[in-house]
Amino acid sequence: MKFSFYRVAFFSICMAVLLSSCGPSLSNITTDLIEQGRNDEAIARMKRALVLSPDTPEYLKLMAIAYYNKKQYEEAAKLLQQVLKLDDEDDQSAYYLAASYEAQRDYSKAIQYYRIYNELTFFGEYKEVVETRIKLLYRQQMELEAQRALQMEQQLDVAKIPANTIAILYFENKGQKAELNPLQKGLSEMLITDLSKVKALKVLERIRLQQLVEEMNLSETDIVDQKTAPRLGKLLGANRLVKGSFFDLTGDKINIDAFVAKARTGEIDASTNISGKVQDFFRMEKELVFKIIDQMKIKLTDEEREAIMEIPTENFFAFLQYSRGLDYEDQGMYTQAFESYSQAAAADPNFAQAKTSASSAKKSEQIVGTTSPTSSNDAKSSDQSQADQKQSDQKQGQQSTGTASKSSSATKTSTFNFVPPPPPPPTSYAGGGQGNIINDRIGNLLENINNTVNPGTGSQNTPPPTVIDPLKAPPLPPN
């Protein structure tokens, strides 16, 4: 009898263990509730579970996802921060945290955590989608910062701007060939790329300049005007400005002038001039860069000099199409940007940046939607369409930047039709890691964010709230 009792008890225990191992876990039950839209029930379950098992990453994450679905993004973000401290390789939590910050229009943190997600996940196709969204959000961030800079203009002090900061303004086309207009941005982009390889300099991004130009509604002559330069430098947070022009000479020759101006006074700090054949354009640009560096009395290392000498393409037509793609992308015309970048890549199959930009523009088009040209750009040759657009702007009394007018910017932000990208797959990591690699990275990123100061203020004073058109919906959560 006694033996029989123990045998029954043992059998009961085994069955209980077997059933518990075969039945759905608490996490699975909660996941099902979330998928059914029963987020309040999921939150209640997880709160009870956390009482018994505090600081369990999986429970915290599931509760955060439920809050995210309820659009309580601030609460979701707090929980997801805890998850990443406990499990620093949970890519799914990094993605949700980025999406939560994006929904709160904290673009800086959203970008940082999307980047962390891309470092953690193993799913390459989702990396590309997220990278494109980062690019779109970065434009939103730069637009917001441009508006804030204008709001805080009276507080800005150029004396507090770091001495090594430099901004490259767009070059003015003073020649008769409208087909060379895209070089206004293309040449600027090349100079930024090359000068960024000099460790002694901090070169500001072209997108920052583009957004500020659009907010200020500046014309192409305003950008290079000596009276405007000090204000631009102050708003950009640049101690020096590189500006210049180019024009075509007789035959196949081209001339480029460049000036380095002090932002505080607008006076010319250095100037240089170079001319040569169009087919030697890229060699000319390198010579221009070295002259600017030399006149600024900067000594280059052998590594820096070698890096600057790298040429992305030697096909002038390919670079011209690439430059046109930059302009289309600035206007939010991703369909046309994709076509221009693709033409550049077709002209030079070794032009890696053109291929990358074409892929990015295509994915941006998928997020934003197909864009329609604001003028007859597609119906006519590219050079003629540039001229027609400029004439159209002048007839309407609008100020044109020569590449992207304020009116086109307004059209861009008002016609965006953002759709959320496909949700990323479930986490590619099993979880449970207690390492400090990602925690350290997150800490450093947050420290950088918190230490960011408004250019020229030397403080973290925040201006009045500024509202810009956000992406219409944050990314969908993972399945």
Position 394 scores a pLDDT of: 41
Q: Which of 240, 221, 220 is nearest to 230 (CA)?
A: 240
Residue pair 374/385 in contact (Cβ under 8 Å)? The answer is no
Together in a domain, 77 and 208:
no
Together in a domain, 86 and 96:
yes
Give the Cα separation of 283 and 311 in Å (integer): 8
- pLDDT-wise least confident of 17-21, 255-259, 374-378: 374-378
Position 372 scores a pLDDT of: 59
Position 225 scores a pLDDT of: 65
Position 406 scores a pLDDT of: 37
> In terms of residue numbers, what domain contains 211?
156-311
Together in a domain, 85 and 220:
no
Task: Give the end-to-end CA distance of the chain in Å, rounded to a whole number.
Answer: 53
Give the Cα separation of 184 and 403 in Å (integer): 8
- Asked if pLDDT for residue 120 goes beyond 60, the answer is yes
Helix ranges (H only) for 196-297 are: 206-216, 220-224, 229-236, 281-295
- Asked if pLDDT for residue 369 goes beyond 90, the answer is no
Asked, for residue 48, whether it belongs to a domain, the answer is yes
Which residues 6+ apart lie within 8 Å of 76 measured at CB? 64, 65, 67, 68, 96, 97, 100
Asked, for residue 1, whether it belongs to a domain, the answer is no
Token match 């039945």: residue? Answer: 23
Position 374 scores a pLDDT of: 46
Average pLDDT along the chain? 77
CATH number of the domain to which 197 belongs = 3.40.50.10070
Confidence of residue 272 (pLDDT cuts 50, 70, 90): confident
Together in a domain, 232 and 216:
yes
- pLDDT-wise least confident of 119-133, 144-158, 285-299: 119-133
Tell which of 261, 292, 311 closes a domain: 311
CA angle 219, 225, 226 (to 5 degrees): 160
Tell which of 264, 290, 311 closes a domain: 311
Confidence of residue 421 (pLDDT cuts 50, 70, 90): very low
Position 360 scores a pLDDT of: 92
- Asked if pLDDT for residue 220 goes beyond 90, the answer is no
- pLDDT-wise least confident of 166-175, 212-221, 228-237, 367-376: 367-376
Number of domains in the chain: 3
Asked, for residue 185, whether it belongs to a domain, the answer is yes
> Tens of pLDDT along 43-82?
999 999 999 999 999 999 999 999 999 999 999 999 999 9
Together in a domain, 150 and 166:
no
Tell which of 281, 311, 341 closes a domain: 311
- Asked if pLDDT for residue 463 goes beyond 70, the answer is no
* Most distant CA pair in the chain, distance: 113
> Tens of pLDDT along 295-339?
888 999 999 999 999 999 989 999 999 999 999 999 999 999 999
Together in a domain, 83 and 167:
no
- Mean pLDDT of the region 8-35: 65
CATH number of the domain to which 441 belongs = 1.25.40.10
Q: Which of 338, 341, 340, 333 is nearest to 413 (CA)?
A: 333
- Asked if pLDDT for residue 412 goes beyond 80, the answer is no
> Tens of pLDDT along 175-216?
888 899 999 999 999 999 999 999 999 999 889 888 888 888
Which residues 6+ apart lie within 8 Å of 189 measured at CB? 206, 323, 326
- Asked if pLDDT for residue 139 goes beyond 60, the answer is yes
Asked, for residue 298, whether it belongs to a domain, the answer is yes
- Mean pLDDT of the region 165-184: 90
Give the Cα separation of 462 and 147 in Å (integer): 12
Asked, for residue 21, whether it belongs to a domain, the answer is no
Together in a domain, 216 and 284:
yes
Confidence of residue 457 (pLDDT cuts 50, 70, 90): very low
- Mean pLDDT of the region 334-361: 95
Phi–psi pair at 164, nearest 5 degrees: -95, 5
Query: 469: which DSSP letter?
Result: -
Together in a domain, 279 and 339:
no
Helices 334-347 and 316-330: crossing angle, nearest 10°?
170
Together in a domain, 344 and 361:
yes
**% of the chain exceeding 70 in pLDDT:** 70
3-state SS class at 165: strand
Which residues 6+ apart lie within 8 Å of 368 measured at CB? 136, 332, 334, 416, 417, 418
- Asked if pLDDT for residue 221 goes beyond 70, the answer is no
Together in a domain, 351 and 404:
yes
Asked, for residue 73, whether it belongs to a domain, the answer is yes
**% of the chain exceeding 90 in pLDDT:** 36
- Which residue did the predictor score with more confidence, 426 or 51? 51
Residue pair 60/86 in contact (Cβ under 8 Å)? The answer is yes
Together in a domain, 363 and 407:
yes
Confidence of residue 232 (pLDDT cuts 50, 70, 90): confident
Asked, for residue 5, whether it belongs to a domain, the answer is no
Asked, for residue 413, whether it belongs to a domain, the answer is yes
Q: Which of 74, 75, 85 is nearest to 442 (CA)?
A: 85
Position 264 scores a pLDDT of: 77
- Asked if pLDDT for residue 447 goes beyond 90, the answer is no
Together in a domain, 293 and 165:
yes
